[in-house]
Structure 1
Amino acid sequence: MSIKKRLLLSYIAMTIIPIVLFVLIATTLVSAFYKGMAGKDGGKGMPAFWETANQHRDLIAGVKFMTQTDPDRFTDSEFLKTTDEQLNRLHTGLVVLKNNQVSFTSPFVSNLHLNTEIQELQTSQTRERWGKSRYSIEKYTITYSDGTTGTVYLLSDLKSFFNEARKFFPLLLLSLLLVIGLTNGFLTFLVSRSFIKPLYTLKHAAEQIKEGNLKQEVELNRKDEIGELGASFEEMRIRLNESIHLQLEYEENRKQLISNISHDLKTPITGIKACVQGIQEGIADTAIKQEKYINMIAKKAEDMDHLIEELMLYSKLDLNRLPFHLEPIDLHLFLQDCVEELRLDPRMEEINLTFIVETDKPVPILGDREKLRRVMMNIIGNSLKYMNKVQKEIRVELFDDKTKATVHIRDNGPGIKSGVLSHIFDRFYRADPSRNTETGGSGLGLAIVKQIVEGQGGSVWAESQLGEGTSIYFTLPKTNNEGEQE
């Protein structure tokens, strides 16, 4: 449920619940304060109150009707006595004046000691007035059959009603305030708790991240806006954790890179220093030995130059600072030219190099000729280093799919263990743990291959079996007739 809908429901509940509770409390209070107002046979509570009010109104209406239709009845003592008894049960008394003289006074009025009030009634010209705040007075003027005038007064004692009202209304007001306060407070607590609790969870997670602990998961299990915030926060934590781990891996790789560079540079430098020292100390005392030492120095210097060149190339590729000069290429003709060029290489004299393609049609790609040639030379050069068979073979195959072209280069060398096969494209990686450099190489050849192929939108992988040889595959996306990659 969204926060907007939750707040709307809470506002509705804050309105409806207090009204319902207030009605229930008011009904209970009326039942408690006015339960006996209908007399012995009356009901209790609010029904009794209304019943009493209705009886009082009907009886007064009957008296008024008699004053208008049959005023002589107010000279009948039996009638006055019966009417007065009925009025007394409703806390009302009857007073009748004839020629400004009291002709009948209700015992109810006499018991209230209202002599002064009765005297005032004789001089009062008002039809209706209030006495000492607790009495209600009804006045009716009548004319007897003999022509004399008179007045009928109905005095109602409101003491019981007022006494209860003094307690009832303050309690009613207090209950209203209490209901509103408790209801709004409770609902506010519930709604705010549903907001504050997840916010504290997010705060705790933020503090954990600040302290460097990125393993504290954020699980709010909500489907509102705060839940979306928690999901975004959790995604941020995961990405930050991955970023830090990746940064640590980069740092470790950097240290490993420096260590590998130091090792690979130190080996030829050590050889050069040994040769120079041999010449300086006269160990190379003949022209033949001196020439041999000089050739060794030249070879080590060439190895260092090749290593530095490979390292600079890899660094530029890794930092995306070496641009690719992409152009439309027929991969079929390109590979055919590469194979013909390799066959002229002196290192390929004892190698049976074959090129197999399943179609004579052009295989259009968008690539960098120079860097693709580097890919072919590095892969085949890597195969040449480890050839140990009498009959040495290297086979180049081209497979043409709808959206990509796949190049397969296979040798029949010693093969690579499956446990290290996934690492051969890592920089400075050699399958030989001793890092023997007798076979030459910088350890960057296949790493450069991976960077070049992936830089042109392709992929590269290897398959191998011990004793049977190794296969290197790389793919490149094809282009359509307009030269755009598919």
Structure 2
Amino acid sequence: MSIKTRLLLSYIAMIIIPLVLFGLVASGLANYFWGEQEPGKPLLRDTLNKRDELFAGVTFMAKYAPNQLTNQKLLTETDEELQAVGGALILTKDEHVLFVSPSIDRADVSDYLQDQPDQGRMHSWKPFKQDGYTFDTYEFTFADQRKGKLYFLANSFPYMQTGIYFFSALILSLLTIVALTNGVLTFLVSRSIIRPLYALKQAANEIKEGNLERSVQLQRKDELGELGEAFEEMRSRLYDSIHLQLQYEENRKQLISSISHDLKTPITGIKACVEAVQEGIADTEAKREKYMKMIAIKSEQMDRLIDELFLFSRLDLNKLPFHFEEVDMRAYMARFAEELRLDPRMHGVSIRYDEHNESPIPVMADQEKLHRVLMNIVDNSLKYLNKDEKLIRLEVEKASGDVLVAISDNGTGIEKEAMPHIFDRFYRADPARNSAMGGSGLGLAIVKQIVEGHGGRVWVESESGRGTRICFTLPDIKRVGGNTE
């Protein structure tokens, strides 16, 4: 649920919940203040209805049997019933008081009748000692044709007081409900927002302190969840970047160390030969020729190492341009096989390339760099051919939308633990043997760089004692947008 939806629902809840709770509280308060508070005590509406019925009964009597109102006993009984429901009765005849309810001060009534003219219905009876009375009048004629008037008094003070308490309780309840509801909902909604923000803040502090191992998992499906995912991706990438940078730094140190070692070996040999000539150890022409030949070999090793190092550095920095053109890999591999057969280094080595299918296999490739790849692989195979019948096999075929090129030999093979590292720069499965053979440790690393520059991949298949097969792929010309027609 998004934060926008959550806030909208909280706003709706802040309106609906207080209304529902207020309705329930108001119903309870109404029942408490106006309902039957004690067993046997009538409800307010029943009290008012009974009082109205008594007033109506006295009015009916005044209208149809006015002389009955001269009966003091009847008036007293009626007044007692009225007092029970908060009412009172006054009866006058020709402005003389005939009956006054005991709850009303008679002197106040006399003064009022003398000083206060008739002002109609529903006026407050201010002069009475009992505040809160309201009255209604009814005029009629006695049997002797004398004017009579009934004053019906209703004591509203207890109900006004109850009403004040009731409405005060209503207002207080409404304010309390609104405050509690809004407070609880605000707390819940804000906590659902603040807690993940606090988690992000802690993660940011950890990153600031250099601790990138603590992951951020908010487990949410809203905007904060998306923010947490972005933050976690940033942390993960930063973590990988720093570790990659550390790895680069370590590789740089190893590179410098390997270059120093590989350059020092031939330099040491050249220096020893020069010292031997200078100190007169090479006192014959044969010895001098021997030392000069050794100096030439060591110089060639240094030159080859520097060339490969320069090539690898340009490939690694992506500063060596590729000149791609359409190449038929079947014809290209056939020419390369013929070149190997004419190479003096391949004396005693059987070069096998079987062309069962003469249909062309076009690719986009840089022919010069592709030749470097094939020669580096063949040079690596030559170092490990130790059998009487030496064999190097060349293969090319289509495979799953790519073109597969493989070079295999029947040499000593590669140990299982060394296979993941043979394409690393300056890696030697047998350092002593490679140094003796003049290997730089960069040949297969260059192979990997060039193949990947073509958009392919390279891998090795080998079994110790039975030979090695190095394979690489090149994208089919159709897959890279070429057209063979």
Q: TM-score, normalised by structure 1?
A: 0.90
Query: Which digits, 9 at most, give the CA deviation of each residue in 1:141-166, with x for residues without a partner?
Result: 33445443332211222232234344
What corresponds to 1:205 in structure 2?
203
Q: Structure 2 regions of 5+ residues with no counterpart?
A: none
- Asked if 2 retains the 8 angstrom alpha-carbon contact of 1:95 and 1:106, the reply is yes
Partner of 2:409: 411
Deviation at 1:192, TM superposition (A): 1.4
Query: Is the Cα–Cα contact under 8 Å of residues 385 and 440 in structure 1 kept in the other structure?
Result: no
- Cα offset, 1:75, TM superposition: 4.1
Partner of 1:126: 119
Does the CA-based 8 Å contact 2:95-2:113 persist in structure 1? no
What SS does the corresponding residue of 2:352 show, helix, strand or coil? strand
Q: CA deviation at 1:476?
A: 1.0
Q: Deviations over 1:460-479 (max 9, x none)?
A: 11111122111111111112
Report SS of the residue matched to 1:438: helix
Residue type at the aligned position of 1:398: V
Pair 175,400 (structure 1): closer, same or farther in 2 beyond 3 Å: closer
**Of the candidates 44, 52, 56, which is equivalent to residue 51 of structure 2?**
56
Equivalents in 1 of 2:60, 2:380: separation in Å? 129
Paired amino acid for 1:129 = H
Cα distance in 2 for residues equivalent to 1:195 and 1:114: 73
- Pair 3,72 (structure 1): closer, same or farther in 2 beyond 3 Å: farther
Q: Which residue of 1 aligns with 2:482?
A: 483
In structure 2, the partner of 1:13 is 13
C-alpha spacing 1:57/1:294, structure 2 compared with 1 (3 Å): farther
Pair 1:235–1:57, CA change in 2 (3 A)? farther
The partner residue of 1:252 within 234, 250, 253 is 250
Question: Shift in Å at residue 52 of structure 1?
Answer: 2.0
The residue number in structure 2 matching 1:240 is 238
- Once the two structures are superposed, residues 394-449 of structure 1 have per-residue CA deviations (whole angstroms, 9 ceiling, x without a partner) of 11111223621111211111111111011111111111144751111211111111
In 2, the alpha carbon distance for the partners of 1:3 and 1:396 equals 64
Residues 378 and 55 of structure 1: is their aligned pair in 2 closer, same or farther, counting only changes over 3 Å? Answer: same
Shift of 1:34: 4.4
- SS of alignment partner, residue 354 of structure 2: strand
Q: Identity over aligned residues, as a percent?
A: 53
Shift of 1:79: 4.6
Distance 2:228 2:69 in 1: 87
2:182 aligned counterpart, secondary structure: helix
Of stretches 188-197 and 284-293 in structure 1, the one that deviates more from structure 2 is: 284-293
Which of 303, 317, 322 is residue 301 of structure 2 equivalent to? 303
C-alpha spacing 1:313/1:167, structure 2 compared with 1 (3 Å): same
Deviation at 1:204, TM superposition (A): 1.4
**What is the TM-score normalised by the length of structure 2?**
0.91
Stretch deviating more after TM superposition (243-252 or 415-424)? 243-252
Distance 1:114 1:256 in 2: 121
Deviations 1:322-364 (A, max 9, x none): 1211111100111111111121111012111111234110001
Cα distance in structure 1, aligned partners of 2:64 and 2:241: 104
CA deviation map 1:280-302 (0-9, x unaligned): 22222333333332332222222
Aligned to 2:140: 142
Partner of 2:422: 424
Letter in 2 for 1:124: P
Partner of 1:439: 437
Secondary structure of 1:437's aligned partner = helix
Greater CA drift, 370-379 or 3-12: 3-12
CA 1:180–1:446 in 2, change beyond 3 Å: closer, same or farther?
same
Moved more, 151-160 or 141-150: 141-150
**Matched AA of 1:115:** A
Does residue 25 of structure 1 match 2:35? no
CA distance in 2, matches of 1:274, 1:377: 32
Is 459-468 or 276-285 further displaced after alignment? 276-285
Aligned to 1:88: 83
Tell whether the 8 Å contact from 1:93 to 1:156 is kept in structure 2 after alignment.
Answer: yes
Determine if contact 2:410/2:466 at 8 Å carries over to the other structure. yes
Query: 1:386·1:439 contact (CA, 8 Å) conserved in 2?
Result: no
**Match for residue 341 of structure 1?**
339
Evaluate the alpha carbon distance shift between residue 216 and residue 480 of structure 1 in structure 2; reply closer, same or farther with a 3 A threshold: closer
Distance 1:98 1:40 in 2: 42
Q: Which secondary structure state, in structure 2, belongs to the residue aligned with residue 419 of structure 1?
A: helix
Aligned counterparts of 2:73 and 2:169: Cα–Cα separation in 1: 45
The change in CA–CA distance for 1:3 and 1:51 in structure 2 (over 3 A counts) is: farther
Superposition map of 1:210-229 within 5 A: 210-229=208-227
Shift of the alpha carbon at 1:114?
5.8
Greater shift after overlay, 114-123 or 469-478?
Answer: 114-123
Q: 1:217 offset after TM fit, Å?
A: 2.4
| 1:106 corresponds to | 101
Cα deviation code 1:71-108 (max 9, x no counterpart): 55544545533432332211110111222111221223
Q: Which amino acid aligns with 2:308?
A: E
Separation (CA, whole Å) in 2 of partners of 1:199 and 1:484: 55
Shift of residue 451, structure 1, vs aligned partner:
0.9
1:292 and 2:287 aligned: no
Match of 1:270 among 241, 256, 268: 268
Hey, what does 1:42 align to over in structure 2?
41
Mark the CA change 1:8 to 1:58 in structure 2 (over 3 Å): closer, same or farther: farther
Q: Deviations over 1:48-83 (max 9, x none)?
A: 122223333444445455556665554454553343
Deviation at 1:257? 0.8
Instruction: Work out the CA distance in 2 between the residues paired with 1:192 and 1:121.
Output: 69
Match of 2:317 among 319, 339, 349: 319
Change beyond 3 A, Cα 1:90–1:435: farther
Stretch moving more, 427-436 or 261-270: 427-436
Aligned length: 477
Offset at residue 210 of structure 1 (A): 1.6
* CA shift digits 1:284-321 (9 cap, x unpaired): 23333333323322222221111111111111111211
Give SS of 2:397's match: strand
Secondary structure of the residue aligned to 1:476 is strand
1:378 maps to a residue whose letter is N
3-state SS in 1 of match to 2:437: coil
Deviations 1:140-193 (A, max 9, x none): 333445443332211222232234344443333222222221222122112211
In structure 2, the CA distance between the partners of 1:303 and 1:433, relative to structure 1 (3 Å rule), is closer
Letter in 2 for 1:231: E
Q: 2:160 aligns with which of 138, 159, 162?
A: 162
- Greater CA deviation, 363-372 or 91-100? 91-100
Shift in Å at residue 118 of structure 1? Answer: 4.8
- Counterpart-to-counterpart distance in 2, 1:325 and 1:331: 16
The residue number in structure 2 matching 1:116 is 108
Q: Once the 2 structures are TM-superposed, how far is the Cα of residue 373 of structure 1 from its aligned partner?
A: 0.6
